[in-house]
Amino acid sequence: MRREGQTTIAPGTVIVRDLAFRYPPWRPGLAPVQALDGISFHAEPGHTIGIYGTGGSGKSTLCLALNGIVPQATGGTIRGEVMIGAWSTRTHPIAELASRVALVLQDPDASLIGRSVEDEVAFGPENLGVPPVEIEQRIETALDRVGVAAYRSRRSSQLSGGEKQRVAIAAALAMQPAVLVLDEPTAALDPQGSAAVAGVLRTLVTEKRTTIILVTQDPDLLAALTEELLILDAGRVVRRGTPREVFAHGAELRRLGLTPPPLANVAEQLNAMLETNFTFLDHPTAVQSLTDALRKSPLALGDPTS
């Protein structure tokens, strides 16, 4: 922790208070687009917050508000407050905010500038003034963690979609940020790559106490990684809670255009068919509950020969 002004507040503390934002109208004379409205949440170092919502509900806009691009680079009108430590992202210089907040954009092409993979990853730390020897170590570690160490000297423009996404994640990791914001980080990854990234995020939380804000359409990933989940609809938070609490509202999520994890849907369907009370969300708990339900059958318990 370090002192900032009068209060002691960790650089990794994220406070969003009654945030509302409108993009400027796309043509003069048209109405501005209200992208966010009345968003509030709070994350301490080591916390992971998940953001889930329909297309166009404001998830990416919220990510951009966390590193100051919104509103500093986009223009538009903003209300409320976004604080990273004691810095307000409305006014604090974007370049300095980058020393605390790293953002993995939804479109990997937008994060990369088409240079060699090692240059892409070195870019951020160089701007922060990290010494060359340490930059070298950071490049190696970051590329290795996401499985693209072999591509170091390739041009990022000549990689596959998933390879680009891995490089974009590596570039964010190399910043060693107090706050890591990820917008659909596993969308283009193969299943093994997704699992690897989930593992990396878990390690950051336990070993570095990184604050993580995760946007994804993958409810399994949200259930596995987040402590608090916000459901966005048309720029507003319409439900919040632990993944377990939120995903218990399957019908409501479906009405919004979302879905609980696939296995939670299975639990719901079985409950309707068998009048059971399954509540599992993930694989281990599903195996446990479904096995128990078979074992607890009168036949299995009452059979003297078994």
Asked if residue 199 binds Mg ion (CB under 5 A), the reply is no
Reduced to 3 states (helix: H, G, I; strand: E, B; else coil), residue 273 is helix
Reduced to 3 states (helix: H, G, I; strand: E, B; else coil), residue 1 is coil
- Nearest distance, CB of residue 165 and ligand ATP, angstroms: 8
Asked if residue 113 binds another protein (CB under 8 A), the reply is no
The entry of Mg ion, ligand ATP, another protein, none that residue 73 binds, CB within 5 to 8 Å by partner kind = none
Please choose, from the candidates 50, 14, 38, 40, the residue with its C-alpha nearest in 3D space to the C-alpha of residue 229.
Answer: 50
Segment contacting ligand ATP by CB under 6 A, of 158-166, 220-228, 265-273, 284-292 = 158-166
Asked if residue 156 binds ligand ATP (CB under 6 A), the reply is no
Long-range Cβ pairs for the range 72-79 (8 Å, 24+): 74/23, 74/24, 75/23, 75/24, 76/21, 76/22, 76/23, 76/24, 76/32, 77/21, 77/22, 77/32, 78/19, 78/20, 78/21, 78/22, 79/18, 79/19, 79/20, 79/21
Segment contacting ligand ATP by CB under 6 A, of 55-63, 82-90, 222-230, 289-297 = 55-63
**Strand-pair partners of 43:** 14
- Nearest distance, CB of residue 88 and ligand ATP, angstroms: 20
Segment contacting ligand ATP by CB under 6 A, of 3-11, 153-161, 198-206, 265-273 = 153-161
Which lies closer to ligand ATP via its Cβ, residue 125 or residue 193?
193
- Nearest distance, CB of residue 85 and ligand ATP, angstroms: 24
Asked if residue 46 binds ligand ATP (CB under 6 A), the reply is no
DSSP-assigned letter for residue 205: I
- Nearest distance, CB of residue 34 and another protein, angstroms: 13
Using CB under 8 A, pick the residue from 91, 160, 305, 306 that binds another protein: 160
φ/ψ of residue 40, rounded to 5: -135, 135
Q: First vs last Cα of the chain: how many Å apart?
A: 60
Q: What is the per-residue binding string for ligand ATP in 160-189, x denoting contact by CB under 6 A?
A: xxxx------------------------x-
Contact present, 95 and 44 (Cβ < 8 Å): no
Q: How many CB atoms lie within 10 A of CB 31?
A: 8
Asked if residue 26 binds ligand ATP (CB under 6 A), the reply is yes
Q: Is the peptide bond before 191 cis (omega within 30 degrees of 0)?
A: no
What residues numbered 237-276 form the site for another protein, per CB under 8 A? Answer: 254, 257-259, 261-263, 265-266, 269-270, 273-274, 276
Segment contacting ligand ATP by CB under 6 A, of 9-17, 58-66, 264-272, 294-302 = 58-66
Q: Which two tokens stand for residue 302?
A: 């009452």
Asked if residue 92 binds ligand ATP (CB under 6 A), the reply is no
Q: Left (φ > 0), alpha (ψ -120 to 50) or beta: where does 257 sit?
A: left
Asked if residue 161 binds Mg ion (CB under 5 A), the reply is yes
Per DSSP bridges, beta strands 87-88 and 77-84 are: antiparallel
Using CB under 8 A, pick the residue from 10, 15, 33, 149 that binds another protein: 33
φ/ψ of residue 73, rounded to 5: -100, -25
- Please count the residues of the chain: 306
Which parts of this chain interact with another protein (CB under 8 A)? 23, 26-27, 33, 53-56, 60, 106-107, 109, 158-163, 166, 184, 187-195, 217, 220, 254, 257-259, 261-263, 265-266, 269-270, 273-274, 276, 283, 286-287, 290-291, 293-294, 297-300
